[in-house]
Amino acid sequence: MGKSLLITARVLFTPVLFVLLCASFASCIAVEIIDRHLLEADFYLEALDENDAYSRVLDEFLMEVEQADTAEDLAAGTEVSREELRDLVGEVVPPEWIQEQFETNLGALLAYLRKDTDELILLLEVGPILDRIQPAVSGFAVERIAEMTIEQVRSFDEFEDRLDTAMDQIAAGDKLVVLPAYEMTEAEVQQAIDAISGLTGLLESSDKEAAVEEALREQDTAGALIAVVDGLIADRVEEATEDLSERLDEQLKLDLIEEISEDEGKSREETLDEFEGARDVVALVTGGGRTLTAILLLLFALLLGALYLPGRRLALTVPGATFIFLGAMGLLWWLVYQSAGPTFIRNRVNNNETDLSESGVELVADVAEALVQKSANAVLVPSVTAFVLGVAAIGLGIYLQARAERPRNSSSTREYASFSSSASR
């Protein structure tokens, strides 16, 4: 009766404990992925660096600039190639700034999820972008003016007309072709200075006036315009700044939580509630989650072994075989995850409806693929550990069984030897 009851218990509870062991093992892997990867900034930053993400984000911003009037404003009245415009935009929105903003906000988000802070603040510091427009555009305009062809003219009147035209072209954003040059008298030099001052309004500085005067005496028209380039492009810089400010909602600091809420059609409070919910889940996982899943895994393994007592071998080999199975399945899942996971994620990203450009979607897919490959490594350690523990348990069970049988074999041998000796006498 007792043996029949034990067999029934084994039949009923072995599958249940096996399923519980599988669930506990899967939980261990999930905790490993979240705690060791998803909550670590380096996990994301390495993937971004590997895919040159910050420069590619700059390319996405460049595409928006090209489609807007901002491109003409930044060019400050000169015709530019895409590479030249990219360099100019890169000075205004450098990849280093993009990286700094991402790292700052990522750190703030992870600190909030880990409960290192109780306030979630995600801000995009756009003030530095606006501050960089003027020096970047001025430097670009100086380079382009210096490259202009100089054409000698025959009279001061022609020089003055063509100088006015050139300055109007720069101020209006038209294409520059040539600059006039002319050997002037003292009176003509002063007249040209007055003309330049009238348009730029920047000759209050004696240094600037001296630079313009010297350049004109040397027939260096480009040098004269470069000395007052800030005044010439002031309107263009203002237009570029205003255009970018409008795109940034006239703010020096963009509230990213507010932006997320608007994009998803939710209130700010609803968005914060979602972050709070995610934070609670993370706290549940990281606040003893690793210890809890390990205890449950050990407990279910002990219960499974206890079902097969008093036999030492089965009490160890059955849980051991289960651990080998879990480890093998984990390793198999790791291989599949490494090979098929990135493709699956890339397809999901590509098939998802989004406002991103094709290259933007490709960037997201590349980064997501890298993250999947990195997170797959979190499966490797628990799987190998489970496999090794399973092999060790089976080996121990076989050893204990053999050791238990050895005294009986030795006793039987001694009894047989004693019986043989008695028989011979």
Question: What per-residue confidence (pLDDT) applies to 155?
Answer: 92
Q: What is the DSSP string of 142-194?
A: HHHHHTSEEEE-S-HHHHHHHHHHHHHHHHHTPPP-EEEE----HHHHHHHHH
From the number of C-beta atoms within 10 Å of its C-beta (0-12, 13-18, 19+), residue 339 rates as: exposed
Q: What is the pLDDT of residue 173?
A: 61
Q: Compute the distance between CA of residue 259 and CA of residue 208 in angstroms, rounded to an integer.
A: 45
Q: Note the pLDDT of residue 324.
A: 94
By residue count, the chain amounts to 425
- Written as tens digits, the pLDDT of the chain (425 aa) is 567 887 888 888 899 999 999 998 888 888 888 877 888 888 888 888 888 888 877 777 666 665 555 555 555 445 566 677 777 778 888 888 888 988 999 999 999 988 888 888 898 887 787 788 778 878 877 877 887 888 999 999 999 898 888 887 777 666 666 889 999 988 988 888 888 877 666 555 567 888 888 888 888 988 888 888 777 777 767 777 777 666 665 556 778 888 888 878 888 899 999 999 988 888 877 766 778 888 888 899 988 888 888 777 888 888 999 999 999 998 888 888 777 766 777 777 667 666 666 777 777 778 877 787 777 777 888 889 899 999 999 998 888 878 877 655 554 555 544 545 544 44
Phi and psi at 164, nearest 5°, equal -60, -40
pTM of the shown model: 0.67
Q: What is the pLDDT of residue 56?
A: 78
Which residue in 82, 128, 125 sits closest to 104, CA to CA? 125
Distance CA 61, CA 59 (A): 5
What is the pLDDT, as a whole number, of residue 73?
53
Report yes or no: 421 and 336 within 8 Å, Cβ to Cβ.
no
pLDDT, residue 79, reads: 57
* Burial classification of residue 413, based on how many CB atoms lie within 10 Å of its CB (0-12 exposed, 13-18 middle, 19 or more buried): exposed
Rounded CA-CA distance 118/343 in Å is: 37
CA-nearest of 286, 272, 266 to 119 is 272
